[in-house]
Chain A
Amino acid sequence: MTVVDTDRIVVAATRSAELNPDIAALPLTGAAPVFVKLPSGVTDELGGHRARPGRGRQRLIGVALLFVLWEAASLLGWIKPQDLAPPTAVVTTGAHLLSNGALLTALWASLQRVFWGLFVGVPLGALLALAAGLSRTGENLIDGNVQMLRFVPIIGLESLFVLWLGVGETAKIAMITLGVMFPIYVNTYAAIRSLDPRFGELADVLGLSQWARIRRIVLPAALPGFLVGLRMAMAVAWLLLVFAEQINASSGLGYLIVQAQTFFQSNVIVVCLVCYAVLGLLTDSLVRFIERVTLRWQPGR
């Protein structure tokens, strides 16, 4: 080395001093190269060891620990049963509600609402996103409206829906439908808009028809965004369901919760909340499964 970059050596020496305090004692002559030992054998997020052994087990232990603490606090009298029932009571209540059919009836009513909300809202959001993403006219007509409506709290629209559709199923499904549309629209539209313009050139060069362009390029490119939207939509659907069912309903998990509240049955409330959590997890892993199957082409999968 003929030219000595002293700044870099000082930086290197400072770094190595952090790693090895012995080096800090050495004089900085500027001539001797300073060696550092670089980390090796470390696995990052992407490389190898993705499913680190024991990781799933540790997560389970974490959850189990929470339940043990909760049970212990209840046994010791720190948590009163009328405030929050202990896990064991929740389990027996759950079993009881299952055996007398009350839970399944409520679940069935709730699931139907979520299903119809998604069934109408998801295609609607996707179609709007396609219309806005594929043509300037569509974009001008649709996007402004959606972006404006997006900031109206859906829950605030409940009163309007009841005014228009009464207190029946339709109002609840309509609210879920509307709430589900937005995450689907926003994510799908963003995915279409961010499509690499070089693929458009490729389509020109290959002489693809409009339909082939949509089918071979636009739809597959929009799929990852759509699936992100779908996961968010699932979460929104469960959220709005709880809300809708607690306002005015004569069936469903939310209705069960309101009734339990009236009779101070915290154990029933907790059973219903656990149901929401499990259903949310199940729908989320369903979308994750769809992602794994349909997005195998993505780098890093």
Chain B
Amino acid sequence: MSVGIVTATEPAMEFLAPSGAVWVRDLRRSFADREIVRGVDLRIAPGEFVALLGRSGSGKTTILRALAGLDGGVTGELYVPERRSVVFQDPRLLPWADVLGNVILGTQGSAAAARGAEALDEVGLAGHESDWPKTLSGGEAQRVALARALVREPHLLLLDEPFGALDALTRIRMHSLVVKLCERHHPAVLFVTHDVDEAILLADRVLVLSEGQISLDTAVEVAQPRLRSDHQFSALRSTLLAELGVDESTEGSTHTGDPIQIQ
């Protein structure tokens, strides 16, 4: 286990808020004398879906990697569940293992294959168990990565711009899939993105990271199903964009670069 991370099974458990899934205090990270993350406090409740918004280079992926336990160079206090999964921006499938082999990679027990097949079914890829990753489309590969994350029944799911490399139509399908899966499995989620609309569509709470600090922490009150035409939706979008330093009146509606306008 990396330095600076304490998992929930260790004695430090008592420091956790009784119902907390993630508890972070004064997280800092420097790269070559430049402090990228400057004292971040973060709490995520079990089952809560939190989106972390920020411009590129704002340090959002650094925070996610810290919570994943991939970065031993952070300082501060971090408590996270022992069972956690990461979906990266790239699917990161082992090319030499078939789809099922990728999903159950690292899981043990005789039921692993059955659970893996079940997870594949959940992401709509039943019957693809013995396909090679090279035969999958970008969206399918990312759904396999999602199945691999879910098969471990994580208490914390870390999503690092998982739809960043997908086309607009595939993204829409992935959004509803993620919502459906989170309703069923109920993990705490930290969803890192630079896409304001995506954050509002999916999250219970949105955090904006600027200059290495959380500059805005707001609950998403937009009624379900969330529609871009909703007044509250556009109001929140304006607020978030302003916080990110984008002026809608001068920069028009192409701000997010997100071409999804057909919902």
Using CB atoms and an 8 Å cutoff, list the residues of chain A in contact with chain B.
Answer: 198-199, 201-208, 212, 216-217, 220-221, 223, 296-299
CB–CB A212/B106 < 8 A: yes
Residues of A within 8 A of B88 (CB): 198, 202
CB–CB B70/A297 < 8 A: no
Q: What distance in Å separates the Cβ of B25 from its nearest Cβ neighbour in chain A?
A: 23
CB–CB A198/B90 < 8 A: yes
Q: What distance in Å separates the Cβ of A189 from its nearest Cβ neighbour in chain B?
A: 18
CB–CB B85/A205 < 8 A: yes
Contact for A207 among B92, B98, B106, CB less than 8 A:
B106
Chain B's interface size range is 20 to 34
8 contacts across the A-B interface (CB closer than 8 A): A202-B92, A202-B94, A204-B68, A216-B106, A217-B94, A221-B96, A297-B96, A298-B95
Contact for B68 among A205, A217, A221, A297, CB less than 8 A:
A205
Cβ-closest chain A residue relative to B85:
A205
Residues of A within 8 A of B95 (CB): 297-299
Task: Give the residues from 76 to 106 in chain B that come closer than 8 angstroms, CB to CB, to chain A.
Answer: 85-86, 88, 90, 92, 94-98, 105-106
CB–CB A206/B90 < 8 A: no
Residues of B within 8 A of A298 (CB): 95, 134
Task: Give the residues from 44 to 91 in chain B that come closer than 8 angstroms, CB to CB, to chain A.
Answer: 68-70, 85-86, 88, 90
CB–CB A204/B70 < 8 A: yes
CB–CB A199/B94 < 8 A: yes
- The answer to whether the Cβ of B133 comes within 8 Å of any Cβ in the partner chain is yes
Residues of B within 8 A of A297 (CB): 95-98, 132-134
CB–CB B105/A206 < 8 A: yes
CB–CB B69/A204 < 8 A: yes
Q: What distance in Å separates the Cβ of B247 from its nearest Cβ neighbour in chain A?
A: 29
Given contact pairs A297-B97, A298-B134, enumerate 13 new A-B contacts (beta carbons under 8 Å). A199-B94, A202-B92, A203-B106, A204-B68, A204-B69, A205-B85, A205-B86, A206-B106, A216-B94, A216-B97, A297-B134, A298-B95, A299-B95
Using CB atoms and an 8 Å cutoff, list the residues of chain B in contact with chain A.
Answer: 68-70, 85-86, 88, 90, 92, 94-98, 105-106, 132-134, 148, 152
Of the listed residues A202, A206, A212, the one surrounded by the most CB atoms of chain B closer than 10 A to its CB is A202
Q: What distance in Å separates the Cβ of B259 from its nearest Cβ neighbour in chain A?
A: 26
CB–CB B105/A216 < 8 A: yes
Q: Given A205-B70, A208-B105, do A198 and B92 touch, yes or no (CB 8 Å)? A: yes
Q: What distance in Å separates the Cβ of B47 from its nearest Cβ neighbour in chain A?
A: 21
Q: What distance in Å separates the Cβ of B63 from its nearest Cβ neighbour in chain A?
A: 15
Bound-complex Cα distance A229 to B152 (A): 38
Bound-complex Cα distance A299 to B136 (A): 11
Cβ-closest chain B residue relative to A224:
B96
Residues of B within 8 A of A216 (CB): 94, 97, 105-106
Q: What distance in Å separates the Cβ of B245 from its nearest Cβ neighbour in chain A?
A: 31
Q: Given A216-B105, A297-B133, do A201 and B70 touch, yes or no (CB 8 Å)? A: yes
Residues of B within 8 A of A220 (CB): 94, 96-97
Bound-complex Cα distance A296 to B105 (A): 19
Bound-complex Cα distance A296 to B96 (A): 8
Bound-complex Cα distance A201 to B96 (A): 17
Q: What distance in Å separates the Cβ of B99 from its nearest Cβ neighbour in chain A?
A: 11
Bound-complex Cα distance A207 to B95 (A): 19
Q: What distance in Å separates the Cβ of A224 from its nearest Cβ neighbour in chain B?
A: 9
Residues of B within 8 A of A202 (CB): 88, 92, 94
Cβ-closest chain A residue relative to B133:
A297
Residues of A within 8 A of B92 (CB): 198-199, 202
Q: What distance in Å separates the Cβ of A167 from its nearest Cβ neighbour in chain B?
A: 45
Bound-complex Cα distance A212 to B88 (A): 21
Residues of A within 8 A of B98 (CB): 297
Of the listed residues B96, B97, B105, the one surrounded by the most CB atoms of chain A closer than 10 A to its CB is B96
